A and B are shown apart, each in its own frame.
Chain A
Amino acid sequence: MITAGLDLGTQSVKAVILKDREVLSRGKAFSGFDPAKTAEQALGEALKAARLSLSDVNHVTATGSGMDLAPNSNSTISMMGADAQAGVYLFPNARTIIDVGAEEARAVKCDEKGIMMDFVVNERCAAGAGAFIEAMARALEMKLEDMGPLSLKAERASSINASCVIFGESDVVTLIHRQESKPEIARAIFDAMADRVSSMVHRLGVNPDVVLLGGVARDVGFVASLKRKLGVDVLIPEYPEYAGALGAALVAAKRVKKV
């Protein structure tokens, strides 16, 4: 049984192909003006890597903010539902799944079957999501991928306001003017963002094991801050940015069985 999951996010579309619930391949394409075309590209890439064609796929499930625009999909699942499925598949003891993507952070509470029991989403503001780190990296005139490792070198913690990306940026400028070191400013940025995410998770309840998914999980600086703020270990899979697509593909597998 071959199934596919598509995650149509705000910055990119990810695809995962499964054979009997085992990952065969992944594909990714950056979102342009035509989400349907991007989705086709991502799925095409994954199919090519698996040496399959679309007709070999039994069921395609789409998720993500653009899920209704996905071509060739047989069904959809909410992002939170996909997170819960992927989290428990990757880490069977996972009960709290956090997903931090480009524009949104969310947390899902689930049971041992990966069924969502409750969820929270960050409040209509990018300050708790990846776009915040990107804006701050620009303010610091450095590459996004360098900011995480640099922040780990900070000797003490400064603080900035992360209620808003714009205010956060002006706080960063204040720190630069105060001649704080770059590692400390970088750490302040991750701490502020982790504060937002962790208070959101606390509203849901922190039930171990805690899993972090989404592209931002690759950022060592954010992960270190989040672990400090939550006070528990945070598990991260090898391909965190593909978790949504993986969850969708797992749902597709269940839906094939039902048909």
Chain B
Amino acid sequence: MNSQSVEKKYMPEISQKEIEELRNTIQATSQKIIAENIEKMKKTDPDRPKAMQYFDEMANFVTREKEIRAAKEKGKKVIGYTCLFAPLELVLASGAIPVRVSSGWYDAAKLGDRVVPVEVCPVVRSTIGAKMIGLSPYLEVSDALISVLTCDGMTKLGEILSDYKPVWPMTLPRVKDSEQSTRLWREEIKAVKGQIEALTGNKVGRKQLKSAIELTQKATKAFRRLQELRKGSPVIMGRDAMLVNQTYMWDNIERWTEKTAALCDELEERARQKNWACPPDTPRVMVTGTPMIWPDNWKLPTLVEEGVPEGVLVADELCSSERLLYDPVGVDEWSMNDMLNAISERYLMASTCPCLTSKDGNEDRINWLLNKIKEWNVQGVIYYVVRGCMLYAMEYTRVKKVLDRLGIPIYYLDTEYTREDVGQMKTRVEAFLEMLTARIDL
């Protein structure tokens, strides 16, 4: 049967004319937002690190899309993923290009409303909307998608996207610290390896996997160096660091590692010269919660670093930024079995996603937050949740209790994929930052 004639199971019929109109409008808005965001970042820190230029370019979607399309012409495969549990090393070892496809376009979320109710998480709605009109280059170029069944939204998103391309669901065990979970997840990792090999036609052998692991280990090293540099007086604004982290989701990893290392060299020099990105007494803020995806969903970091009194993001606990690659794959023996087990462990055990639990709830997330607060000298935490994001919303109660006991200010900020609530958010963010300084000021 011709695939054209297969009726879509989820997606509505939409005319080519409407698709093109919507895509052109949203793409134009997107390019404007990208330019505005970068302009605002330059305004906050007029002497922005030179090395940021590269990441600004990686953030425009166009450059990297061209590269990936050219690689595809030469026979490369592209494997998309929605959540961080997708084992990138296996993708890399097969010679394929990994790209994350979760969407940050506000206007696309409105399109998603045609398919799923407005109560559904906007990251999911926006990804559906992006697919409807072919907006996301990375989603478009993907030959297959790894859909790890994390939260409810992501689980069903995979099903919906299967209207367009092969989707490989992976069952994620949700109790981290149990034998059964470890066993199940190892099996899932092996199964997805088979699917990757079948798609690419390349066998993932010991040698290929070893070099893929070494590649991400190097990336982790560069990444850690960048986060370490944010522990002291600010050498880089939070938005800049977040952008660097985020481009890892679609950039060529080897080149990303080099560029990040070059940025770190520059920042180390600036630290030696005490050339700070903002006054060293600027309130130090951390954000945690729902992922913040470029380009539209940059409003909270912008509000924090632009507001009066201005704050600086010194750390975050977001799967769109610092959760991406803090933990390396730890291999003892470089046997195939050992490497696969190490990958399996790295993706499950190191995750602090609230879709997981353990004998003591998501204690790893609590401990990690406390560690960040201490090590990065965080003065206040903004807990960011988009409407429909149940898991982060529900985990707030425990996080708040722990931080209250320690006297660390935390504020729950809820929002939507929309530009219209920036005024209200500004009032709240400013009040929170004022609270951090008021203890000294009033």
Flag whether B349 is at the interface (Cβ < 8 A). no
Q: Which residues on the B side are within 8 Å of A78 (C-beta)?
A: 427, 430-431, 434
Contact among A81, A117, A121 with B434 in the assembled complex (CB-CB below 8 Å) = A81
Q: Which residues on the A side are within 8 Å of B25 (C-beta)?
A: none
Would you list the 4 A-B pairs with minimal beta carbon distance, nearest first? A78-B431, A80-B431, A78-B434, A116-B435
Within 8 A of B (CB), among A82-113: 85, 113
Q: Which residues on the B side are within 8 Å of A124 (C-beta)?
A: 414, 421, 424
Q: Which residues on the A side are within 8 Å of B409 (C-beta)?
A: 117-118
Within 8 A of A (CB), among B67-111: none
B interface, size bucket: 10 to 19
Can you report 22 residue pairs joining A to B where beta carbons are below 8 Å apart? A65-B423, A65-B427, A76-B308, A78-B427, A78-B430, A80-B431, A81-B431, A81-B434, A81-B442, A85-B442, A113-B442, A114-B442, A115-B442, A116-B435, A118-B404, A118-B435, A119-B411, A119-B431, A120-B412, A121-B427, A123-B414, A124-B414
Shortest beta-carbon distance, B376 to chain A, in Å? Answer: 22
Q: Which residues on the A side are within 8 Å of B427 (C-beta)?
A: 65, 78-79, 121
Distance of A251 Cα from B434 Cα, bound (Å):
13
Flag whether A254 is at the interface (Cβ < 8 A). yes
Flag whether B438 is at the interface (Cβ < 8 A). yes
Shortest beta-carbon distance, B417 to chain A, in Å? Answer: 14
| A119→B435 contact, CB < 8 A | yes
Q: Which residues on the A side are within 8 Å of B50 (C-beta)?
A: none
Contact among A114, A117, A120 with B435 in the assembled complex (CB-CB below 8 Å) = A117
Distance of A225 Cα from B430 Cα, bound (Å):
32
Shortest beta-carbon distance, B301 to chain A, in Å? Answer: 20
Flag whether B272 is at the interface (Cβ < 8 A). no
| B424→A81 contact, CB < 8 A | no
Flag whether A13 is at the interface (Cβ < 8 A). no
Distance of A118 Cα from B435 Cα, bound (Å):
8
Q: Which residues on the B side are within 8 Å of A85 (C-beta)?
A: 442
| A115→B439 contact, CB < 8 A | yes
Given contacts A117-B435, A123-B414, contact A251 B442 (CB under 8 A): yes
Chain B residues near A (Cβ < 8 Å): 308, 404, 409, 411-412, 414, 421, 423-424, 427-428, 430-432, 434-435, 438-439, 442
Shortest beta-carbon distance, A63 to chain B, in Å? Answer: 10
Q: Which residues on the A side are within 8 Å of B404 (C-beta)?
A: 118
| A77→B428 contact, CB < 8 A | no
| A115→B438 contact, CB < 8 A | yes
Distance of A121 Cα from B423 Cα, bound (Å):
14
How many residue pairs, one in A and one in B, have C-beta atoms under 8 Å apart? 46
Nearest B residue to A251, CB-CB? B442
Told that A78-B431, A79-B427 touch, could you supply 20 new A-B pairs with CB distance under 8 A? Answer: A76-B308, A78-B430, A80-B435, A81-B431, A85-B442, A114-B442, A115-B438, A115-B439, A115-B442, A116-B431, A118-B409, A119-B431, A119-B432, A119-B435, A121-B428, A123-B414, A124-B414, A124-B421, A124-B424, A251-B442
Distance of A76 Cα from B430 Cα, bound (Å):
11
Contact among A79, A81, A121, A123 with B438 in the assembled complex (CB-CB below 8 Å) = A81
Provide the A52-82 mask, 1 if CB < 8 A to any CB of B, else 0.
0000000000000100000000001111110
Shortest beta-carbon distance, B370 to chain A, in Å? Answer: 19
Chain A residues near B (Cβ < 8 Å): 65, 76-81, 85, 113-121, 123-124, 251, 254
Distance of A80 Cα from B409 Cα, bound (Å):
15
Shortest beta-carbon distance, B118 to chain A, in Å? Answer: 13
Distance of A80 Cα from B431 Cα, bound (Å):
7
Shortest beta-carbon distance, B283 to chain A, in Å? Answer: 14
Distance of A112 Cα from B442 Cα, bound (Å):
13
Distance of A113 Cα from B439 Cα, bound (Å):
10
Shortest beta-carbon distance, A66 to chain B, in Å? Answer: 10
Q: Which residues on the B side are within 8 Å of A123 (C-beta)?
A: 414
Distance of A116 Cα from B380 Cα, bound (Å):
14
Shortest beta-carbon distance, B52 to chain A, in Å? Answer: 30
Shortest beta-carbon distance, A45 to chain B, in Å? Answer: 26
Q: Which residues on the B side are within 8 Å of A119 (C-beta)?
A: 411, 431-432, 435
Distance of A123 Cα from B414 Cα, bound (Å):
8
Distance of A65 Cα from B426 Cα, bound (Å):
10
Q: Which residues on the B side are within 8 Å of A115 (C-beta)?
A: 438-439, 442
Nearest A residue to B415, CB-CB? A124
Shortest beta-carbon distance, A84 to chain B, in Å? Answer: 9
Q: Which residues on the A side are within 8 Å of B442 (C-beta)?
A: 81, 85, 113-115, 251, 254
Distance of A157 Cα from B31 Cα, bound (Å):
55
| A79→B431 contact, CB < 8 A | yes
Given contacts A81-B431, A123-B414, contact A116 B424 (CB under 8 A): no
| A116→B438 contact, CB < 8 A | yes
Nearest B residue to A76, CB-CB? B308
Nearest A residue to B435, CB-CB? A116
Shortest beta-carbon distance, B347 to chain A, in Å? Answer: 35
Q: Which residues on the A side are within 8 Å of B438 (C-beta)?
A: 81, 115-116
Shortest beta-carbon distance, A60 to chain B, in Å? Answer: 16
Shortest beta-carbon distance, A164 to chain B, in Å? Answer: 13
Distance of A65 Cα from B421 Cα, bound (Å):
13
Q: Which residues on the A side are within 8 Å of B308 (C-beta)?
A: 76
Distance of A110 Cα from B438 Cα, bound (Å):
11
Shortest beta-carbon distance, B149 to chain A, in Å? Answer: 30
Distance of A81 Cα from B431 Cα, bound (Å):
7
Distance of A121 Cα from B414 Cα, bound (Å):
10
Q: Which residues on the B side are within 8 Å of A113 (C-beta)?
A: 442
Nearest A residue to B396, CB-CB? A203
Contact among B421, B423, B428, B435 with A81 in the assembled complex (CB-CB below 8 Å) = B435
Nearest B residue to A81, CB-CB? B434
Distance of A124 Cα from B427 Cα, bound (Å):
12
Distance of A174 Cα from B438 Cα, bound (Å):
48
Distance of A119 Cα from B439 Cα, bound (Å):
15
